[in-house]
Chains A and B, each alone.
Chain A
Amino acid sequence: SQTIHQWPATLVQPVGSPLSLECTVEGTSNPNLYWYRQAAGRGLQLLFYSVGIGQISSEVPQNLSASRPQDRQFILSSKKLLLSDSGFYLCAWSFSYGYTFGSGTRLTVV
């Protein structure tokens, strides 16, 4: 069966520090992968999506970047975190027009 793993579950980072969040998918190949952010009291905003290795599309300009070094690995990064980067980050993959989400990472920038 297909599963999606996302870590860490929670993270507290100082302003200006780097960030790396990782997402991996098992049980499927060549999935479409996504990063969403949920800010406090708001809905989910699509940040990046990827249809294959090295193929990244960004939905909004921001302080973040994404990479897909392997077929089932999707990484969200930042060189210098801002306070506004705080939020709940969710990785997702899609199959046959269905979407499955990871358990999320709660990022607090202090």
Chain B
Amino acid sequence: AQSVTQPDIHITVSEGASLELRCNYSYGATPYLFWYVQSPGQGLQLLLKYFSGDTLVQGIKGFEAEFKRSQSSFNLRKPSVHWSDAAEYFCAVGGGGADGLTFGKGTHLIIQP
């Protein structure tokens, strides 16, 4: 069965500092990988996705993620965070079929001044 692990429940980063959110997945075939962001009380916004090709994926809001098959990881990075980046971040994996996505439990990002 497919699964996603986000080992960090909370992360606190100073504004302007770099960020890396970890994501490890388990999937029996070639995975489709996603990162979503959720602001309080809101729906999910897609940051970026990986299907194939270049393993370094660029997304919106200055985020990027790198797919590492050997480590079963898809970590999210940003070189310099802004206070508006404070939110919940979810990593997800799917196979492209009709059975939807499997999400990690999320990482709550706190930005301190």
Contacts and interface: CB of A to CB of B under 8 A. Distances in A.
Interface of A: 6, 32, 34, 36, 42-44, 46, 49, 51, 57, 59, 90, 92, 94, 97-104, 106
Contact of A90 (B32, B34, B44, B104): B44
Nearest to B106: A43
Contacts of A106: 41
Contacts of B90: 43-44
Given A43-B103, A51-B98, A98 B49 contact: yes
B27 to A, nearest CB: 14
Given A44-B101, A94-B100, 4 more contacts: A49-B99, A92-B100, A102-B43, A104-B42
Nearest to B108: A41
Q: What's the dominant secondary structure at chain B's contact region?
A: loop
Given A43-B90, A44-B90, A101 B43 contact: yes
Interface string B86-113: 0000101010101111111110000000
17 contacts: A6-B43, A32-B100, A36-B103, A43-B103, A43-B104, A43-B105, A44-B101, A57-B99, A92-B100, A94-B98, A97-B32, A97-B96, A99-B100, A101-B36, A102-B43, A103-B43, A104-B42
Contacts of A46: 99-102
Nearest to B49: A98
B46 interface: yes
Given A43-B105, A97-B32, A99-B34, A34 B43 contact: no
Nearest first, the 4 A-B pairs at minimum CB distance are A43-B105, A97-B96, A101-B44, A44-B103
A99 B48 CA distance: 11
B43 A104 contact: yes
Most B C-beta atoms less than 10 A away, residue of A44, A46, A102, A103? A44
A97 B51 contact: yes
Nearest to B36: A101
B94 to A, nearest CB: 7
A19 to B, nearest CB: 19
